[in-house]
Every structure is written in C-alpha cells, then in structure tokens.
Amino acid sequence: MDTRDNGTVIIDCAIYRNGKREDTSHDAVSLENALTSLTDKNDFIWIGAFEPTAAEMAEITAPLKLHPLAVEDAVNAHQRPKVERYRDHLFMSVKTVTYANDDIQTAEINAFLGSNYLLTVRHGKGHDLRAVRQRVETQDRELEHGPTAALYAVVDSVVDDYAHVAAELEIDVQEVESSVFSGSRTSDSSRIYRLKREALEFRRAVMPLREPVSRFAVGEMPEAARPYFRDIGDHLSRVAESIDATDHLLDNALHAHMAQLSIQQNDDMRKLAAGAALFAVPTAIAGIYGMNFEHMPELSWTYGYPLVLGTTLLLCIYLAWRFKKSGWL
C-alpha cells in the first residue's frame, strides 16, 4: 500500500535478531529502547517510513542521531540518486521507476544505514517496500547478516524493476521500428520523441547509481556483502547498456521516419506531376480547337470530331502507361 496505516508515518518497524523478526512499537521512546536492546553485532532494527513531514522525521531520527543535512534530504524528495557517508552512518537515495503506456513514473527511496539500524523513507507510489521486507523475511538466514543485507534487498528490488522497465522500453521501440518500416503512412515522430524523453528520465534514475554501487562492491561494505553489490552493479551495467541501445535505436528510427516522409512526399509530387501531364494533353488540344478558326478539320469532315477525341484519348492512355511503367503512378 501507498498510504499510512492508522495515520502514522511509520509503515513498518521491527527488530531482527538472528534474522528473526520481533515487532516493536513505533514511538520514539520505544525506538530508543529497541536500539539499546541490540547487543549482537548483526541484530538491527528496520524502520520503514512513508512521506514524513520535517517534524515527524525529527521524531524518528532523534534516537538514531542522524546528520541534519541527510535528514533534510530525506524529507525533501526529488533528490538525485547518490550515496553520502557520515561519521557513523550512510545515506543513500535511489529512484524507483515504473513504466506504462509510454510513460515513466519515478518515485524515491532514501535510506539511512547504521551499525544496528536501517531507516527507509519512501516518497511517491509504485514501489511498496513491505513486499520486499516480507520476501526477505521468508528467506532463511538472509537477515542474519545485519542491516547491510536489508539495504541490499531494497536496492536489489529497485534495480530488478529497472530491468523490467528496460525490457518494456525495448518492446515499444521494436513496435516503433515495425511501424516506421511498414511501408504504410504513419505518424511515428510524436511517439518516438515521447519514448526518447522517457528514456532520458530513465537514464537520470539509473546512471548516477552506478558509481556508488561500484564503491560498495569494492570496499565500502563488509566483505561478505561485496559480491551481492557486485551483482547489482552488473545488473545496472546491463540496464545502462539497454538504455544506450534504446536511445540509439530511437535516433535511427526517427531518422528513418523522416527519410520515409521525404520519400512519400517525393512520390506524391511525382503523382501530382504525372496527373498534371495527363490533363495537359486534352487541355492543349481543347484550347487549340476552342479558338474558333474557320479551317478546322471537324467543321467540314464527318469523322473529324471523333478523330480528335480518339487521338486525345490514345495520347492520355499512352502517357498513363509510360508514367505507370516508370513508377510515377
């Protein structure tokens, strides 16, 4: 769901001891007591919040002693994907992406990672972290590795969505290519432009995330977690390559569409010119015979008028045959 439960900003909150969930209250005192109770190095609390106000965020973060600049970034959405490391915690902002009907919608997840906690702050619709939490809770020993494992589950789910969106974009680009080269008259330029704009929005969500994930994979995370973030990095690289290929194909499709339009316009001009030539012959003959001279063949010859009409018709048929043979008609 994308609404608050019972009016509270905290959607879900639980302690994980040896990977097993223990529910806890959502108020600030309970959070502080829960933090105090975490004695094992891999025990942690995972707090999930949805669109908190500044006052609500201050109440949540007071027991965690988070940096005020990071808290401000978490409250104000529309952050650029980034990772910032503070003295005793890490702040990460990622964009979530959904795609339907040639339209990409982005939302935002901001995460605070400490030695014994993970706080996720979600803005916008489209990526419910409770499904991620429920999935990871059912996997044996997944959360025994502490809050880093929970952060990995969140980022991995976001990047999996990137892969799905990239696949959907590729399908739509194939549809555009089929339409452009179908041979029929189509108006694909508006859709091509729209897809290029959505690909650009997708790029803004994906590209800034590659560098921090690469850092996670080589040294900024516990050694046991690095292979998992390397896997995320590989997925991000594939998505980035897909975006580049999509953008390149859209450029080619747009150029091909403009060339098709030019060819169609040339065909139209040739048909118009051929039609004008067909009408020029009878118009010229009718103009000559309409000048009322005395010595016209049909004035004194019975078959003169039918001969002129037949000659005109034969000339028009001959011109039409020649234009058809040359591809002008």
Q: Would you state the pLDDT for residue 320?
A: 78
Total tally of structural domains belonging to the chain: 2
Give the bridge partners for 21, in sequence order.
16
Structure confidence at residue 94 (pLDDT):
94
Same domain, 242 and 274: no
Domain boundary among 259, 276, 299: 259
- Inter-residue contact 61 to 187 (CB < 8 Å): no
Q: What's the CA gap between 25 and 56, in Å, rounded? A: 15
Q: Are residues 202 and 313 in the same domain?
A: no
Same domain, 240 and 287: no
Tell me: do 199 and 107 sit in the same domain.
yes
Q: Structural domain of residue 292, as residue ranges?
A: 263-326
Determine the pLDDT at residue 328. Answer: 66
Q: So what's the pLDDT on residue 291?
A: 65
Shared domain check, 228 and 173:
yes
Work out whether strand 117-123 and strand 44-50 pair parallel, antiparallel, or are unpaired.
Answer: parallel
Domain finish residue from 238, 259, 280: 259
C-alpha distances in Å from residue 164, one per residue of 27, 120, 193, 231, 293: 37, 23, 21, 16, 81
For residues 45 and 303, give the distance between their C-alpha atoms in angstroms, rounded to a whole number.
108
Q: What is the pLDDT of residue 120?
A: 95
> Cβ(24)–Cβ(14) under 8 Å?
yes
What whole-number distance in Å separates Cα of residue 219 and Cα of residue 155?
Answer: 17
Residues 55 and 122 in one domain: yes
Q: What is the pLDDT of residue 283?
A: 76
pLDDT for 35 equals: 86
Q: Which ranges of the chain have pLDDT less than 70?
A: 1-8, 140, 263, 288-302, 328-329
Residue 104, helix vs strand vs coil:
strand
Please report the pLDDT score of residue 1 as a whole number. Answer: 46
Boundary-marking domain end, from 244, 259, 274: 259
Does residue 75 sit in the same domain as residue 190? yes
Q: Which helix (H) or strand (E) holds 94?
A: strand 90-100
